[in-house]
Structure 1
């Protein structure tokens, strides 16, 4: 049988597997235990945030992201904090990365690539209008929902270390070099909006060509190619697509095409549907303020819960004859020293019920990881009766309980078990055959 599992909880969220990891954060799958909704939990280390003097920027960008409800941007639901961590609760998107689609299927037809690019520009334009810049746009940060719609992840959250100086420009080179704009790599200061747009142009090229416009194993050579915008469009691209890509991948940010100009481009406008959604103006920012004031009264509870060891079908079948409350009293076997039964309630509830049944009978109860040690404080015929129990998970709401005599008189164990079985009648699972019999 498998060992007991440790389940981690952060407030009302049950935390699962790691689904992403970056320099400053780890992203884990989580589930809201109240609603059952799946979310992505972005976990930041407070010490790193303070060390890199990022707290104020993160607070500002999280506050802005809470107001953004664009259909092509991953939603930010709430933010929590413990003594050592900041937890950003995000929409969980199920369709995977756009990057995987390119890797598995190669380049796209223009109609499909255009639809994704239109959704990307919709998202980027909306966020820029609210002063939020991505700074690391690439296919790995573009997710697809269950309906195949594009969702930009990490908008405003991916480049925490960026700082705007007095000249109003960002000065830290970041992101993936192949997708970064020349002005970002040249460290001359750059405008977040035009730099994001360059990355969008590289993404469009990759969608249509199936490979990168700028690529070289030597980093300095790569930088030179990007700075000079040295690339060639493949022959299968339409003239409209080539023209638009050339206007976006303009190495001069001052003459680079703008989003309003893209929206008027003939190739871009084909089949274009602007995003339809309701803007959210009344988002509650109390949780953000509480996190960054670092008030202990608002700290979320972090817990590690041990789950019962699970049992597979083969193990269950091998024990199936024993899954009945009455099996301890089989006449041909005499009084058995151990037995098992199945119960249809949560494991924690089962532990409590066993404890509630044992204590009035004079038993001291010790619990650990769904194993219990029960000892009768009153000395019996063969010393103190000691009983061991362990709970195994068969299905989410079905558990098997093993009860055995560890020490003492078997007749006294039989008497104890009879009392225990009476207390657990309401939760014990019965087959159709056994439920029809009188106990």
Structure 2
């Protein structure tokens, strides 16, 4: 859900955990399920297809698209929910395919239930077709009391459209519900179809602010040290401390353990230590960027510009903090040399334990 930050996706605010449960704090969507309003003619097929196109550009495949997972906010805009069965592009096996049989039977593509492997994007296109059919018709396309009978219909792609479907819609659905995934129409072609051109507006996901933009916004707010630490919730703590429950690899390319440590020092003492290092090196300036974030910036120009290091301070408990620092500018080699020769040795007085050691 962090990867698919999009206006038509239920927003994930925070993740927390206890010893036995994980809690997702998500956007409250007031309008209820789209499924409940199908009969009122509230179709959101353009928003659905636009969001799916964005998912696939981020390497995310939902794999459980159905009207019950399509919600409406107070403005009747679509909000896609329930990513419990979703897969990432990295989940593919050596053959380049996904192999987990999952989803709601009436909406899954036949190649998913064939257990021979399937392309995530092509399978999701099929599910979109079934959803669009239901939104237009008001009833299920594949409906059988017997599951085997339903799968038989799906494998044959017995798509019989009601008489009131416009000819162009029937033609598009036949291309979406093509039993051959290799010849099935792709998302970009669906978006270019005349059925979606009238009134369709592709929504771009909001862009995250970079460190310079954040620094500019925060320049007139709380500029004095010490920095207040950010809250480090239980889920973050479990992910970083437990090798068996480390989910950071889903979102981060570099290991965090080499640049993360725990400390019993207060935030003002942590900031003071980094100020001391910056001063003694006679190279770096120290400045505040955001709540819980400070930045060390080299005055000298290196091979790839100035080496810059962002330091984040997280409060785990009142007497226990976690500190993480990462390169935000300059050459990686110069950054690593400074960390190994000066930064890490100078931090030994405040480090309780380096993560990963």
TM-score by length of 2: 0.58
Contact in 2 for aligned 1:183/1:189 (Cα 8 Å): yes
With over 3 angstroms needed to count, the CA separation of the structure-2 counterparts of 1:281 and 1:169, relative to structure 1, is: farther
| Alignment check: 8 A CA contact 1:194 1:253 kept | yes
Aligned-pair CA distance for 1:238: 0.5
Are 2:50 and 1:122 aligned? yes
Give the counterpart of 1:253 among 181, 192, 203. 181
- Look up the SS of the partner of 1:178 in the other structure: helix
Whole-angstrom distance in 2 between the partners of 1:285 and 1:170: 37
**Cross-structure match for 1:215:** 143
Contact 2:61 2:87 in 1 (8 A): no
Partner of 1:291: 238
- Residue 159 (structure 2) pairs with residue 228 (structure 1): no
Instruction: Please report how far the alpha carbon of residue 166 of structure 1 lies from its aligned counterpart in structure 2 after TM superposition.
Output: 2.5
Q: Is 1:195–2:142 an aligned residue pair?
A: no
CA deviations 1:386-430 (Å, max 9, x no partner) are: xxxxxxxxxxxxxxxxxxxxxxxxxxxxxxxxxxxxxxxxxxxxx
Find the residue that maps to 2:61 and give its secondary structure.
coil
CA RMSD of aligned residues (A): 2.6
SS in 1 for 2:200: coil
Q: Which runs of 5+ in 1 are unaligned?
A: 1-64, 296-439
**What are the Cα deviations for residues 344-399 of structure 1, in whole angstroms up to 9, with x where unaligned?**
xxxxxxxxxxxxxxxxxxxxxxxxxxxxxxxxxxxxxxxxxxxxxxxxxxxxxxxx
- Alpha carbons 2:98, 2:118 under 8 Å: kept: yes
Residue matched to 1:99:
35
> Match for residue 172 of structure 1?
100
Check the 8 A contact 2:60/2:86 in 1, yes or no: no
Q: Secondary structure at the match of 2:36?
A: helix
Q: 1:139 to 1:282 in 2, by over 3 A?
A: farther
Residue 244 of structure 1: aligned partner:
172
Secondary structure class of the residue paired with 1:99: helix
Find the aligned partners of 1:140 and 1:179 in 2 and give their Cα distance: 11
Larger radius of gyration: 1
Secondary structure of 1:120's aligned partner: helix
Flag the 1:127–1:159 CA change in 2: closer, same or farther, 3 A: closer
* 1:83 aligns with one of 19, 27, 33: 19
Aligned to 1:66: 2
CA distance in 2 between counterparts of 1:277 and 1:177 reads: 31
Contact 1:262/1:268 (CA < 8 Å) preserved in 2?
A: yes
Higher relative contact order (CA 8 A, sep 6+): 1
Output the CA distance in 1 between the equivalents of 2:166 and 2:126. Answer: 20
Aligned residues: 222
Specify whether residues 205 and 127 from structure 1 end up closer, same or farther in structure 2 by C-alpha distance, changes over 3 A only.
same
Residue in 2 that maps onto 1:398:
none
Residue 132 of structure 1 pairs with residue 60 of structure 2: yes
Q: Give, in angstroms, the shift of residue 212 of structure 1.
A: 1.3
Tell me which moved more, 282-291 or 195-204. Answer: 282-291
| Paired position in structure 1 for 2:75 | 147
Per the alignment, do residues 185 and 269 of structure 1 end up closer, same or farther by CA in structure 2, a change over 3 Å counting? Answer: same
1:152, 1:285 → 2: CA distance?
A: 28
Q: 1:265 to 1:159 in 2, by over 3 A?
A: closer
Task: Check whether the contact 1:96–1:144 (CA below 8 A) recurs between aligned residues.
Answer: yes
Aligned residue in 1 for 2:272: none
Residue 234 of structure 1 and its aligned partner are, at CA, apart by 0.3
The two structures have a TM-score, normalised by structure 1, of 0.47
Task: Tell me, yes or no, if structure 1 residue 158 matches structure 2 residue 85.
Answer: yes
- Structure 2 distance, partners of 1:242, 1:142, is 23
When residues 281 and 243 of structure 1 are mapped into structure 2, their CA distance, relative to the original with a 3 A threshold, is farther
Q: How many angstroms does 1:160 deviate by?
A: 7.5
For residues 153 and 191 of structure 1, the distance between their equivalents in structure 2, rounded to whole angstroms, comes to 21
CA 1:130 to 1:285, structure 2 compared with 1: closer, same or farther past 3 Å?
farther
